[in-house]
Structure 1
């Protein structure tokens, strides 16, 4: 079902650039090396798109394994398997957008594979290469050029924007209070020179300056508090809106073009390529998506005994990993795709114990 969302609403909201640049000619033809893709101009509005060539969606990118390579990679020549010199460093966990809608970076959870401690690093989108997968249509490998030392020294990503805003506001208020104290000190020196009348006037002025500084500092703090709450509410609403959009779009599109009871045949899950199963969506009794396969579990004799499914969370973030047996899964396959089904509902899966390695 990974191919299902490439033309959905989430693709319209979070279309990402790939490393292969396309040049569009005046007659509406996009040149991509030796291939040409004709793009029909949108005569109705610049707001909506029927198709977005040379793009991927955030939901396709999240959950992808990320490899590091010390050599340059070609993004035009498909390969059938990860290069033996590549190192698997972790998994894409989120996408960071700028306030103008541009893609600033992707977040990658690294650690364990190269002896590093677990941490999340932000890698710029321009540093990633998407190498086509020659075995799977519309699939690709995510590769970044570098080495282990680069990742060891990479800073952990800190997304606590509200705390930074509060720290900045407190610094500004402190500066205002220091200014007020300086004004009071100068006023006191003037009082000693100009007598009782000047002393009374200076005292009054100092008190007013102090009160103004206090009021200003409180106003700045209140504004920072409101900004922090607004940022938190906006993030929550945005996450909820995206989640609802994904669910609504998936319900509208349904299983169109995918292997189902009519167009597909049931196959033994052990015959399916492991790379194809990893990250595949799992569907419950009512064809509702209940999770994604994040790990294959094998018995002591090397045979597939079960899978780990990430259940719940928002587009894979904060999900709970649970293990179910291979016998509880049904795999349907047609000429173009596979789908994985289970008789367990999302609530039943959530009630299972958390998978521990």
Structure 2
């Protein structure tokens, strides 16, 4: 677990009465780390878990054993913290999705909905836990920054290029997988093959709509070591995803050749 400097009782900023008084007088200083303080710089990127069944029973004095998170759902990580101008924490931005089949999206939640659960007897080791589920995260509105450019403006839609039917391929030892059965890590970087198993590229990134639904995949076609690649966006419905029955890396198929795909409009997102 990571160490953070934010008092658990105070939230993510120094919001004691002495600190608040500083706004009306001379600058006050916070001279040394206190018991229970957490470093905000390390909060960013920390994993966060959904413990829907256990959440209500989790209290500040409970000490969890190693690997307790294996009984919870890893829903994503903390991407950012939103502060008001008076130093109060307004919300925490969570990057959620992937494993739950909704695609990656940012969701802003109140800090009070996140519990800090101790791991072992070291106060510096802990879990961040919320109470939620797949349906709630699917329905939760995606957080939008004012300077965000609508993702739809960056994508090449199906109207910009001919749609392809997914290839009718079957391979011994493999089974068909749908995007909602996979994580973003399973798909990002996965090799892309033509219907005759020719290696034609890889999945570079995934595109979601305003509701966090997985819509398209950006493909890197050809090239070598990132040089000379041609990037195109295709609908997920154009792809067939196979994964080994015993587990392992997925194989993604498209009913086209490298030459066909290199002639299609390039993605510029």
TM superposition score category, shorter chain reference = 0.3 to 0.5
Could you tell me the TM-score, scaled by structure 2's length?
A: 0.43
Rg larger for: 1
Instruction: Kindly indicate which of the two structures has a greater share of residues assigned to helix.
Output: 1
Could you tell me the TM-score, scaled by structure 1's length?
A: 0.33
Higher relative contact order (CA 8 A, sep 6+): 2
